[in-house]
């Protein structure tokens, strides 16, 4: 099957029962303690034992995604032989095989190789996980690039890998891969939105980039400034008033239940397409990174695409509050008081604590218009979260223990991991204001928690709510297992898994 996506190029992925004859590089899995598959034993025999000698020389013991490479191997009809570890077979879950596919893609993407054959024959065909489908998924995730503005790439920098052939005997591989492919498309949309500079993706063009979801059956509603003014969204509009770019509220509705599920799940994303900090301006060093301050909204958009592409039997609303935070003469000032759509008032102590002002009005709007039973919001909300968790976990805050456990489980299953933080009255008191209902920041300590306490004040009684602070997760300064440096696409797989496990009809 052909696979094509913006930022990814075009790649052919095939699942076959026997190794093809045309020129190729060959990858073979190696288990813990250098245990070879049948295909590996045959390759080692054909090459006079060179595969095992290479493994011995490299001291490779089958560690997951560890690659041992033999160039122009004797006795084999391949340009190079790559032995890649998959660890202990009983522990090789989907994430292990995804890492294997990703490692091979990273190794060969610009190598000059055009065709890679991954021979998985001889693996346990009765295992619960489908290795071939997850290997292909890992290849896709790691191969994505954003080269739109790179006009002078040398030949050695350009991708060459065009075709992946996976030798596999399982009958359900294509079906399993189609579902994973839908998730990959959602991840790619998110990565593209997060990667684009702020002069290209701003509130209006963010909406444009999501308009194609209508072709997949997603109902799209867009509110402009006048509509939001009429609704009294003073918090969101206060953030945007310093920018020449008008704000937008984007609502995406996917109902794959045919109307059977009346109460939807709401996913709400912070979409600050560029954040200078406003009048409370950020330091110049590193400010260019603030193009990804819409990573929460990007994750929501990507998740909605994934759900629609795989025809998820769920009823989900995706909301993106889209603004640009700029410091012109009309920008809101520290000390201003704004009235939110809920009627509550906020003293703006710091204009760089703008994400919660955007989210609070988005939360009120979705509750009034769609009456969701569950809300999950995602936001690159606080630098304090990066101090707490680094770039390994997103922060989880919730008013419902069961919802928290569901999200933690979805994080473990998807690889987009979360770590739970507390909420409580002692923290809530820290954002009380002497002149308004609340202020938008508390003291320096507990900054991520007081931000979550702020949002909690806008959740109506009886609604299960979780806030995910993903500030450390949407952008990577160095390559990771499934992504190159840059946009990670964090949140899409998490949300897709959460919906599949908890809110999808059987």
Chain segment 373-411, per-residue pLDDT in tens: 999 999 999 999 999 999 999 999 999 999 999 999 999
Helix ranges, 20-172 (H): 38-46, 50-58, 94-108, 131-143
Give the H or E element holding residue 81.
Answer: strand 80-87
CATH code: domain 2-171 is: 3.40.220.10
Taking the mean position of all CA atoms in its chain, how far away is CA 287?
22
356 is a catalytic site residue: yes
Multiple choice CATH, 183-502, 2.60.40.3120, 3.40.50.150, 3.40.630.10, 3.40.50.300: 3.40.630.10
Q: How many CA atoms lie within 13 A of 28 on its CB side?
A: 27
Whether 238 and 358 have beta carbons less than 8 Å apart is answered as: no
Query: Block means of pLDDT (10 residues each) for the chain, length 506 residues?
Result: 46 92 95 93 95 96 96 95 94 95 97 97 83 97 96 94 94 94 98 98 98 98 98 98 98 97 98 98 96 98 98 98 97 98 98 98 98 98 97 98 98 97 98 98 97 98 98 97 97 98 95
Report the relative pairing of strands 115-119 and 163-167 from DSSP bridges. Answer: parallel
Whether 420 and 396 have beta carbons less than 8 Å apart is answered as: yes
Structure tokens at 480: 């990771």
Residue ranges of the chain assigned to CATH 3.40.220.10: 2-171
Alpha-carbon span 114 to 24, nearest angstrom = 7
Report the relative pairing of strands 219-223 and 438-439 from DSSP bridges. Answer: unpaired
Tokens 């992946």 belong to residue:
164
Alpha-carbon span 372 to 369, nearest angstrom = 9
Give the H or E element holding residue 360.
Answer: helix 355-370
Q: Which of 282, 371, 412, 456 is catalytic?
A: 282
Ramachandran region of residue 65, left (φ > 0), alpha (ψ -120 to 50) or beta? left
DSSP for 276-336, please give it. --TTSPPPSTTGGGGGGTTHHHHHHHHHHHHHHHTT-SSEEEEEEEEEEE--STTS--TT-
Q: Which of 99, 245, 291, 356 is catalytic?
A: 356
- What's the full length of the chain, in residues? 506
* pLDDT for the residue 5: 39
Whether 220 and 214 have beta carbons less than 8 Å apart is answered as: yes
* pLDDT for the residue 4: 40
Q: Which of 94, 70, 38 is nearest to 415 (CA)?
A: 94
* pLDDT for the residue 463: 98
Structure tokens at 339: 């009235």
Tokens 């954040």 belong to residue:
275
Q: Which residues contact 458 (CB under 8 A, 6 or more apart)?
A: 340, 342, 344, 359, 360, 363, 364
Q: What are phi and psi of 487, to 5 degrees?
A: -65, 135
* pLDDT for the residue 11: 84
Residue ranges of the chain assigned to CATH 3.40.630.10: 183-502
pTM score, two decimals? 0.96
Quick one: DSSP state of residue 214? G
């Amino acid at each position: 099957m052909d696979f094509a996506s913006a930022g990814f190029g075009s790649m052919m992925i095939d699942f076959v029962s026997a190794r093809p004859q045309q020129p190729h590089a060959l990858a073979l899995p190696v288990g813990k303690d250098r245990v070879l598959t049948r295909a590996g034993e045959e390759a080692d025999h054909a090459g006079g034992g060179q595969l095992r000698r290479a493994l011995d020389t490299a001291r490779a013991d089958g560690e997951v995604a560890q690659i041992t490479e033999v160039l122009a191997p004797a006795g084999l009809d391949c340009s190079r032989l790559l032995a890649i570890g998959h660890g202990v077979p009983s522990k090789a879950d989907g994430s292990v095989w995804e890492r294997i596919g990703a490692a091979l893609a990273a190794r060969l993407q610009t190598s000059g190789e055009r065709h890679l054959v991954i021979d998985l024959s001889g693996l346990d065909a009765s295992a619960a996980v489908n290795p071939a489908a997850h290997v292909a998924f890992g290849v896709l995730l790691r191969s994505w690039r954003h080269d739109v503005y790179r006009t002078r790439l040398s030949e050695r920098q350009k991708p060459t890998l065009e075709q992946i052939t996976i030798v596999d005997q399982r009958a359900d591989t294509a079906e399993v891969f189609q579902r994973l492919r839908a998730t990959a498309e959602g991840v790619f949309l998110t990565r593209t939105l997060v990667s684009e500079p702020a002069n290209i993706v701003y509130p209006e063009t963010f909406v444009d980039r999501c308009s194609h979801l209508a072709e997949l059956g997603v109902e799209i509603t867009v509110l402009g400034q006048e509509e939001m003014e009429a609704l009294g969204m003073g918090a969101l509009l206060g953030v945007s008033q310093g920018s020449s770019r008008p704000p937008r509220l984007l609502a995406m509705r996917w109902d794959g239940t045919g109307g059977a599920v009346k109460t939807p799940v709401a996913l709400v994303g912070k979409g600050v397409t560029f954040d200078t900090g406003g009048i409370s301006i950020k330091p110049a060093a590193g400010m260019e990174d603030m193009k990804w301050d819409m990573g929460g909204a990007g994750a929501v958009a990507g998740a909605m695409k994934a759900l629609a592409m795989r025809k998820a039997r769920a009823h989900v609303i995706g909301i993106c509050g889209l603004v640009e935070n700029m410091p012109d003469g009309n920008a809101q000032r520290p000390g201003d008081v704004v009235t939110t759509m809920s009627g509550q008032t906020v003293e703006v102590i710091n204009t760089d604590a703008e994400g919660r002002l955007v989210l609070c009005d988005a939360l009120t709007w979705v509750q009034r218009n769609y009456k969701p039973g569950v809300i999950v919001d995602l936001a690159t909300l606080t630098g304090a979260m990066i101090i707490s968790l680094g770039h390994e976990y997103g922060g989880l805050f919730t008013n419902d223990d069961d919802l928290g456990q569901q999200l933690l489980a979805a994080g473990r299953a998807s690889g987009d991991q979360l770590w739970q933080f507390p909420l409580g009255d002692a923290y809530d008191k820290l954002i009380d204001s002497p002149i308004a209902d609340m202020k938008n920041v508390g003291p320096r300590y507990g900054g991520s928690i007081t931000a979550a306490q702020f949002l909690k004040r806008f959740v109506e009684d009886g609604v299960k709510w979780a806030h995910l602070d993903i500030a450390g997760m949407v952008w990577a300064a160095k390559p990771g297992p499934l992504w190159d440096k840059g946009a990670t696409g964090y949140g899409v797989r998490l949300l897709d898994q959460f919906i599949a496990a908890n809110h999808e009809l059987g």
